[in-house]
């Protein structure tokens, strides 16, 4: 039995051999065409990262305050069904090396749904819809702004507020305001990579890339229970995601390394270690030019849940997602510290 995983049949895939991928600082790309911008959005920080090789990222650090992120982690783990998908490609049997679950469907109009879908799409749970709406709004705001705003007490500019949203997750009690330790003001006291001058007002939006208005319809969750759980190098560049797809990817719970490498230029590599509450948005040419992975680790790592938001533009896309992330096997529920198959 082959336990390595080919991520998706139609995407670009490279097998990753566990920890063999090493990043040495001296091998990092030259800074010549690097621009990293920092924009505080209401009470948080986002970095626009545009680098050589069409890397185009938005890095929302500590977007979800820690306690709320931990609470959402626990809610996802205990309330959602999870799958350990197995599938066959040719004569190769693949065990997906992590738990997955999926919600949502493409926006294609069709009836009756059960005739076209291989597996009935599951509605996105309300709490996750809130996350979707929030991120759509944040991403559009950041992409439509070319401003570098450095101010201590910025007011929320989104109609969605992450604390309001997650107050549902934090159960009956009214959430206490978070300490300001995570707020933009304190982060901005530290110098960040970016243009030296900051101009608070009056700049026209950056028109060099036309980003579509963000509209997610698929919520895919990955649960990495131990360091043996992983996702091999791949890119989410399938045609059913459209051209230059935008994918938002949250980390809840434990930190894991997230590696990126350029598909052609082996000098171009990136490494992030995402923490509880972080969100990375991959957009523009990122998927067509880069691969990403969460490698296995044999050091102690805490369980991590990843929530990714994306858009399927066709029924085929939705079917593909359910095939590789829900599959045909049993649903599992997390009960008393372990995954148990659900009684059907």
Ligand X SMILES: O=C(O)CCC(=O)C(=O)O
Annotated binding site for 2-oxoglutarate: 222, 224, 234, 292, 304, 308, 310
Contacted entry of Fe ion, ligand X, none for residue 220, CB cut-off 5 to 8 Å set by kind: ligand X
Contacted entry of ligand X, Fe ion, none for residue 16, CB cut-off 5 to 8 Å set by kind: none
Number of C-beta neighbours around residue 61 at 10 A: 18
- How far is the C-alpha of 287 from the C-alpha of 314, rounded, in Å? 18
Instruction: Establish if 292 lies at the interface with ligand X (CB under 6 A).
Output: yes
Instruction: Establish if 101 lies at the interface with ligand X (CB under 6 A).
Output: no
- How far is the C-alpha of 82 from the C-alpha of 280, rounded, in Å? 23
Instruction: Establish if 222 lies at the interface with ligand X (CB under 6 A).
Output: yes
In this chain, which of 217, 249, 283, 318 binds ligand X, going by CB under 6 A?
Answer: 249
Q: By the 8 A CB rule, do 287 and 66 touch?
A: no
DSSP state of 18: G
Q: By the 8 A CB rule, do 281 and 254 touch?
A: no
Instruction: Establish if 84 lies at the interface with ligand X (CB under 6 A).
Output: no
Contacted entry of ligand X, Fe ion, none for residue 249, CB cut-off 5 to 8 Å set by kind: ligand X
Contacted entry of Fe ion, ligand X, none for residue 294, CB cut-off 5 to 8 Å set by kind: ligand X
Site for ligand X in 2-31 (CB under 6 A): none
Contacted entry of ligand X, Fe ion, none for residue 96, CB cut-off 5 to 8 Å set by kind: none
- How far is the C-alpha of 295 from the C-alpha of 17, rounded, in Å? 8
Q: Least distance to ligand X from the beta carbon of 40, Å?
A: 24
Nearer to ligand X, 124 or 294 (CB): 294
Nearer to Fe ion, 45 or 268 (CB): 268
Instruction: Establish if 269 lies at the interface with ligand X (CB under 6 A).
Output: no
Mark 202-221 with x for binding to ligand X (rule: CB under 6 A) and - for no binding.
Answer: ------------------x-
Nearer to ligand X, 135 or 148 (CB): 135
Cα–Cα distance list, 306 to 101, 197, 239, 318 (Å): 10, 35, 23, 19
Q: Least distance to ligand X from the beta carbon of 257, Å?
A: 10
In this chain, which of 236, 237, 238, 270 binds ligand X, going by CB under 6 A?
Answer: 236
Nearer to Fe ion, 184 or 222 (CB): 222
Q: Note every long-range contact of 161-166, with CB atoms under 8 Å and residues 24 or more positions apart, other chains counting.
A: 161/42, 162/44, 162/63, 162/64, 162/65, 162/68, 162/134, 163/65, 163/68, 165/130, 165/131, 165/134, 166/64, 166/65, 166/68, 166/71, 166/72, 166/130
User: How many residues make up the chain in this entry?
Assistant: 344
Nearer to ligand X, 214 or 325 (CB): 325
Q: By the 8 A CB rule, do 138 and 145 touch?
A: no
Which residues of this chain interact with ligand X, rule CB under 6 A? 220, 222, 231, 236, 249, 258, 292, 294, 306, 308
């Amino acid at each position: 039995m082959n336990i390595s995983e080919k991520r998706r049949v139609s995407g670009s895939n490279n097998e990753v051999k566990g920890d063999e991928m090493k990043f040495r600082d001296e091998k990092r790309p030259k800074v010549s065409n690097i621009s990293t911008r920092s924009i505080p959005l209401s009470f948080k920080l986002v970095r626009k990262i545009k680098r050589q090789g069409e890397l185009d990222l938005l890095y929302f650090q500590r977007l979800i305050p820690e306690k709320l992120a931990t609470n959402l982690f626990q809610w996802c783990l205990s309330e959602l069904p999870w799958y350990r998908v197995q599938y066959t490609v040719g004569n190769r049997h693949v065990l997906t090396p992590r738990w997955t679950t999926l919600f949502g469907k493409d926006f294609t109009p069709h009836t009756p749904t059960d005739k076209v879908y291989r597996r009935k799409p599951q509605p996105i749970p309300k709490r996750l819809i809130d996350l979707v709406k929030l991120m759509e709004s944040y991403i559009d705001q950041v992409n439509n702004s070319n401003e570098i705003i450095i101010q201590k007490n910025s007011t929320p500019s989104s109609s969605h507020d992450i604390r309001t949203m997650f107050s549902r997750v934090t159960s009956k009690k009214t959430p206490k305001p978070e300490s300001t330790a995570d707020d933009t003001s304190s982060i901005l006291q530290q110098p960040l990579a970016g243009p030296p001058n900051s101009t608070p007002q009056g700049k026209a939006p950056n028109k060099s890339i036309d980003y579509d208005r963000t509209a997610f319809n698929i919520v895919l969750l990955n649960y990495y229970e131990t360091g043996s759980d992983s996702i091999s190098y791949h890119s989410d560049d399938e045609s059913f995601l459209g051209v230059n797809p935008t994918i938002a990817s949250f980390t809840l719970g434990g930190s894991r390394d997230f590696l990126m490498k350029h598909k052609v230029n082996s000098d171009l590599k990136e490494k992030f270690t995402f923490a509880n509450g972080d969100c990375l948005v991959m957009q523009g040419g990122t998927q067509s030019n880069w691969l990403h992975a969460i490698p296995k680790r044999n050091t102690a790592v805490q369980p991590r849940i990843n929530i990714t938001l994306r858009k399927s533009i066709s029924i085929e896309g939705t079917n593909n997602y359910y095939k590789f992330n829900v599959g045909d096997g049993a649903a599992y529920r997390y009960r008393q510290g372990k995954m148990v198959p659900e009684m059907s």
